[in-house]
Amino acid sequence: MHDEAAVFQRQGFGAGLGLRPPLGLLIIDFVNGFADPAVFGGGNIPPAMRQSEGLLALARERGWPVAHSRIVYADDDSDANVFSAKVPGMLTLKENSPASAIVAELAPRPGELVVRKNVPSAFFGTTLAPWLTARGVQTLLVAGCVTSGCVRASVVDAMCWGFRPVVIEDCVGDRAIGPHEASLFDMRQKYADVIDLAQLRAQV
């Protein structure tokens, strides 16, 4: 994307946001269904999940607020919406469905927020923004899947709410690499900083 990057740079996109404390962490939809290529997974999601174990451990060690999200629809499908009309399989993700459960390696601990959503953004119609605000979060580190879907939607909303999103590049994944890379490029230019876990460790 060399030529495209030059266009964005010439037009003034891509300024850095930096890591302004306090920091918080949002882990988006790292659930069993997205870990399984036979359900909603594939691509580079499994290595992103594994790498996020180190990110979560770092956040807990530093005492940063941690939030997780999972997709949950009502058992009777009464909250079916345009998202589930576009991706009907999403309706299989219920409160007690194993596919909707956060993977064991990244299981929430007491005091960490779990956001239930039925649209791509972890912010839309949830308590996430006020929860982060109450804890003083300025910079929101973002991990999860998929990069081109729920991650990107959540990053855009985080920016709209006034948080400074920082996407941890090796801790986000997508079932297809093309959309993953395009979305990272897009977020880096317009909505977020994009760094890897090693760069984060070096800065905190």
**Residue-level pLDDT at 96:** 98
Express each pLDDT in 134-167 by its tens digit: 999 999 999 999 999 999 999 999 999 999 999 9
> What CATH number does domain 21-203 carry, 3.40.50.850, 1.10.287.3510, 3.40.640.10, 3.40.630.10?
3.40.50.850
DSSP characters over 60-118 = HHHT--EEEEEE-B-TT-TT--HHHHHSGGGGG-BTT-GGGSBPGGG---TT-EEEEES
Phi-psi region of 63 (alpha: psi -120 to 50; beta: other; left: phi over 0): left
Residue 160 is a catalytic residue: no
Phi-psi region of 12 (alpha: psi -120 to 50; beta: other; left: phi over 0): left
**From the candidates 145, 150, 160, 171, which is the catalytic residue?**
150
Distance of CA 54 to the CA centre of its chain: 16
Only one residue has tokens 């997205």, namely: 34
Domain segments of the chain: what residues?
21-203
Report the C-alpha gap between 200 and 130 in whole angstroms.
25
Contact 179, 147 (CB under 8 A): yes
Contact 45, 145 (CB under 8 A): yes
Report the predicted TM-score, pTM, of the whole model to 2 decimal places: 0.96
Average pLDDT rounded to a whole number, residues 53-57: 98
